[in-house]
Amino acid sequence: MNETNANGSLNGRRRVVITGLGALTPIGNDVETTWTNLISGRSGAGPITQFDASGYPVKFACEVKDFDPTDWMERKQARRMDRFAQLVLAAARQAETDCGLDIAAEADRIGASVATGIGGLKSFQDCRDELRDRGPDRVNPFSIPEIIPNMGAAWVSMELGTRGPLSSQCTACAASNMSIGDGLDSIRLGRAEVMFCGGTEAPVTEVGIAGFAAMRALSRRNDDPERASRPFDAGRDGFVMGEGGVVLVLEELEHARARGAKIYGELLGYGVSSDANHITEPDPVGTNPARAMKMAFDDAGITPDEIDYINAHATSTPVGDAAETRMIKLALGEELARKVPISSTKGATGHCLGAAGAVEAIFSLLAIRDGVLPPTINLETPDPTCDLDYIPNEARRADVRTAVSNSFGFGGHNASIVLRRFED
């Protein structure tokens, strides 16, 4: 059992709560629009608009729609940033407004940890084209700062004026869960009072689509994009590429109390492990990702029977969804695993790669806030190997106190976080 001391520390540790959110996703350009569309079962998939995909084997994706970076930054500044950095800076500005924090008053105690799986893929592609077509003397001098993965975090820090810890995880699709875990550790260790944490990705480019399609990782349902992402369904044939920028404001509890901050929930635990198995395929048994979940439970000081909802990583790939089913059974025990409601929200958002964990952390928090479990859309024909309660197609009312969100990445990166309703 957790024990809370008079000073608000949990089991002798500083408690960490979430006080601000910002998001641009394929189903909405702010948090509440995204959540409303998710609960209503809307898909963010459609024909690719960012380049001519007519000659590509995959012609659709889950894009962020109607995004104008100049709504959030100066035009000159926007021209020096890749889309992945533009998206997360816009999300960070939303989160800054939402949390109501005076950053300038204590900038040294406020940090940022922003993840990405790939970084500036479009800028890398453009740089290569310039080099080939115009020669080395005509390459854009901003190319490297646009490409390197840490610049999402760097732009957030520079534009918001944070001067505390600054980091960027690049651990494939587990990256933003690890960013959130990094922020949790920074606050627990006293290195910061507040951390802007999240993830961003903008992989809907010629190289991104062609490369993932060549791996046979993407769905090829070009005639029916909105039904292409179908986690746990027997007819799933790959994930749908997604993009987005998402930021959560993590804050030490007493700091949040002192300024009367709105609190969405508490970040209770974090667990990580590695598979040491394969460059793309998950642990076939599920032992190692299950260790990450169990580590998160231990860190949170909870037992598996306290879990009310799991937001699964499940991306709509044949191997991955079945592996996660096995892993959840290992982590919870088969009998309990059959009782806990689970959903994969990637049916709606597609797979946002390095931003996925942050997107799904917000969904888990809002499930706690509103008592609504988001559906796994397009789950029409259950796969016999995926035999748990996946909340098919329609949202479900439930009392949610504790939620777990999983993220797993190419190369064997595993990360789980535990979120809980804030109880003073």
From the list 351, 352, 386, 413, the catalytic residue is 351
Tens digits of residue pLDDT in 143-163 = 999 999 999 999 999 999 999
Give the pLDDT score at 6: 44
The verdict on 291 and 339 lying in the same domain is yes
Contact 357, 184 (CB under 8 A): no
Take residue 110 and report the two structure tokens written for it: 């406020």
Q: Find the mean pLDDT for residues 243-257.
A: 98
Nearest in space to 316 (alpha carbons), one of 221, 197, 398: 221
Looking at the domain assignment, is residue 1 inside a domain?
no
Contact 96, 151 (CB under 8 A): no
pLDDT higher than 60, residue 83: yes
Is 197 known to be catalytic?
no
Q: What are phi and psi of 146, to 5 degrees?
A: -80, -30
* Cα–Cα distance, 405 to 407 (Å, whole number): 7
Side chain identity at 81, as an amino acid letter? M
Angle between helix axes 121-134 and 206-214 (nearest 10 degrees) is: 110
User: pLDDT grade, residue 388 (50/70/90)?
Assistant: very high
Tens digits of residue pLDDT in 392-413 = 999 999 999 999 999 999 999 9
The verdict on 49 and 100 lying in the same domain is yes
Looking at the domain assignment, is residue 7 inside a domain?
no
3-state DSSP helix/strand/coil % of the chain, to nearest 5: 40, 20, 40
Contact 362, 20 (CB under 8 A): no
The verdict on 292 and 330 lying in the same domain is yes
User: pLDDT grade, residue 176 (50/70/90)?
Assistant: very high
pLDDT higher than 90, residue 2: no
pLDDT higher than 60, residue 27: yes
Nearest in space to 155 (alpha carbons), one of 206, 184, 198: 198
Last residue of a domain, one of 202, 225, 258: 258
- Classify each residue of 229-267 as buried b or exposed e, where b means 16 or more C-beta atoms within 10 Å of its C-beta: bbbbbeebebbbbbbbbbbbbbbbbebbeeeebeebbbb
Three-state SS for 265? strand
Three-state SS for 190? coil
β-strands 16-24, 265-274 pairing: antiparallel
Residues 6+ apart with CB under 8 A from 13: 188
Is 313 known to be catalytic?
yes
Tens digits of residue pLDDT in 364-377 = 999 999 999 999 99
From the list 62, 313, 352, 413, the catalytic residue is 313
Q: CATH number for the domain including 285?
A: 3.40.47.10
β-strands 110-115, 166-167 pairing: parallel
Q: Find the mean pLDDT for residues 195-203.
A: 98
From the list 99, 127, 173, 197, the catalytic residue is 173
Least trusted range by pLDDT, from 76-80, 156-160, 366-370, 415-419: 76-80
The verdict on 120 and 205 lying in the same domain is yes
Share of the chain above pLDDT 70, in %: 97
Looking at the domain assignment, is residue 133 inside a domain?
yes
The verdict on 254 and 283 lying in the same domain is no
Give the pLDDT score at 296: 98
Least trusted range by pLDDT, from 215-229, 238-252, 282-296, 375-389: 282-296
Range of the domain at 415: 270-420
Take residue 18 and report the two structure tokens written for it: 């979430």
The verdict on 70 and 172 lying in the same domain is yes
Rounded to whole angstroms, the maximal C-alpha distance in the chain is 66
The verdict on 215 and 349 lying in the same domain is no
The verdict on 324 and 297 lying in the same domain is yes
Residues 6+ apart with CB under 8 A from 230: 236, 316, 347, 377, 378, 379, 380
Looking at the domain assignment, is residue 9 inside a domain?
no
User: pLDDT grade, residue 4 (50/70/90)?
Assistant: low
The verdict on 196 and 307 lying in the same domain is no
The verdict on 290 and 151 lying in the same domain is no
Take residue 244 and report the two structure tokens written for it: 């987005």
Nearest in space to 194 (alpha carbons), one of 286, 120, 105, 62: 105
The verdict on 290 and 404 lying in the same domain is yes
Give the pLDDT score at 11: 62
The verdict on 225 and 289 lying in the same domain is no
Side chain identity at 417, as an amino acid letter? I
Residues 6+ apart with CB under 8 A from 132: none
Tens digits of residue pLDDT in 277-319 = 899 888 888 899 999 999 999 999 999 999 999 999 999 999 9
Last residue of a domain, one of 230, 258, 286: 258
Structural domain count of the chain: 2
User: pLDDT grade, residue 7 (50/70/90)?
Assistant: very low
Query: 392: number of CA atoms within 13 Å, CB side?
Result: 14
Whole-number Cα distances in Å, 140 to 73, 124, 126, 137, 207: 21, 11, 9, 9, 19
Give the pLDDT score at 177: 98
* Cα–Cα distance, 386 to 7 (Å, whole number): 45
Sign of CA dihedral 82, 84, 90, 95: negative
Share of the chain above pLDDT 90, in %: 94
Measured at the alpha carbon of residue 296, what is the angle toward residues 17 and 256, in degrees to the nearest 5? 10
Is 413 known to be catalytic?
no
Tens digits of residue pLDDT in 36-47 = 999 999 999 999
* Cα–Cα distance, 121 to 85 (Å, whole number): 11
Q: Pick 282 or 28 by higher pLDDT.
A: 28
Total number of residues shown for the chain: 424
Looking at the domain assignment, is residue 8 inside a domain?
no
Q: How far apart are the first and last CA of the chain?
A: 16
